[in-house]
Amino acid sequence: MYDALRSPLAIFTVAGFGLFVIARLFAPPAEEASGRAIVVEREALLAYVQRRSGEADATKLVEVWDGLDAEARQVWVDRFVREEALVREARRLELDRDDDLIRRRLVQQMEFLVAAEIDSSIDEAALQAAYPEYAAAHRIPAIATFAHVFVRDAEALTRGPEGPAHARARALRDALVEEGVGFEGAGRYGDRFLYHRAYVDRTLDEVRAHFGAAMAASLETLSADPARWQGPIASQHGWHAVLLRDCTPGRAPTLEEVRTALAEDILRTRREASVDRGVADIVAGYPAEVSEAVLGSSGEGEGAARSR
């Protein structure tokens, strides 16, 4: 008798019965299970397919769907059921309550919903009114094309044109002029430089990044002359003899140059204002009580609260 109970068949039978009992104990009631049924309707399924496929044309999507065979349709049905089941189960477990990613997504959806329809027509008066501020914030930077010969002097900006480094830079400039060295020949002279020897169509912001503000400011004061070496001028690294081939000064863009971008900026500002108003209305309907302890005040104790 004892040996019979130890047989694999007996153990398998007992284990199977135990699993059956557990399943019966934890299975939802029949009425609850039926209420959890996922009903796959054509309209909901097509909306799901459109979201997942990215097809913008709903009419075209219906035509494609109607042309699918039963096997291809079943694939989409299985995907729909799988996602719906997982979403429902996640909500049942209240996973959507404390997940930061889901909370942010819900906030984004609410912001989209509360954004009222805005006036998308931008007239000339609106463009003219917004143009000065926009143009000031979107200036077209100065562009320079130049070559330079470098003489190292870490104290060039503080010491000025005193000492051997400046004298050497001046002598190099004179030699460049005398020998008729052109734009491409600058690399054969002077000390090694950390960056480039020639800069073609570079903004003065880039020049500042490589040479410092003093060098960029000096370049703007020079007259472009592709045949004349000028300087020496100081940078945060030392002295530079410069061959300035071209320098286009910075300027504000014209209204015509920024008309499209400006109109988009105005619409974006309107949308943001609309969202702010809608969210403010919602927040006003949820009075908040903030503990004094949160605000860092000794107040009247830990339980004290203030409404807002």
Based on the domain organization, do 237 and 266 belong to the same domain?
no
Residue 2 pLDDT: 43
Partnered with residue 152 across adjacent β-strands are 238
Banded pLDDT at 107 (limits 50, 70, 90): confident
Read off the pLDDT of each residue in 157-164 and give the average, rounded to a whole number: 83
Kindly state whether residue 282 falls inside one of the protein's structural domains.
Answer: yes
Do 117 and 260 belong to one domain? yes
pLDDT band at 35 (very low <50, low <70, confident <90, very high): low
Range of the domain at 181: 143-248
Beta bridge partners of 148: 242
Q: Residue 259's pLDDT is what?
A: 93
Q: Is the pLDDT of residue 145 over 90?
A: yes
**For residue 1, pLDDT beyond 60:** no
* pLDDT of 222 higher than 70: yes
Q: What is the mean pLDDT of residues 20-44?
A: 61
How many other β-carbons are positioned within 10 Å of the β-carbon of residue 197? 19
Whether residue 59 is contained in a domain is answered as no
User: For 234-298, where are the alpha helices, taking DSSP H only?
Assistant: 255-284, 292-295
**Is residue 76 a part of any domain in this protein?**
no
Tell me which H or E stretch contains 113: helix 100-114
Sign of the dihedral through C-alpha 41, 47, 51, 54: positive
Q: How confident is the model at residue 275 (pLDDT cuts 50, 70, 90)?
A: confident
- pLDDT above 70 for 7: no
Residue 185's CATH number = 3.10.50.40
Average pLDDT of the chain, as a whole number: 81
Shared domain check, 199 and 157: yes
Distance separating alpha carbons of residues 62 and 48, to the nearest angstrom: 12
Domain count within the chain: 3
**Residue 287 in tokens:** 């009075």
Nearest to 97 by CA among 106, 109, 86: 106
Q: State mean pLDDT over 89-99.
A: 79
Tell me: do 265 and 243 sit in the same domain: no
Q: Name the E strands within the chain.
A: 143-152, 198-203, 229-234, 238-248, 289-291, 305-307
Residue 44 lies in a domain: no
Q: What is residue 99's three-state secondary structure?
A: coil
Q: Give the pLDDT score at 296.
A: 66
Q: What residues have CB less than 8 Å from 97, skipping those under 6 apart?
A: none
Integer Rg of the chain from CA: 37
Choice among 16-25, 72-81, 106-115, 233-242 with the minimum mean pLDDT: 16-25
User: Helix 42-53 and helix 58-66: axis angle, to 10°?
Assistant: 110
Q: How confident is the model at residue 221 (pLDDT cuts 50, 70, 90)?
A: confident
119 plus 148 within the same structural domain = no
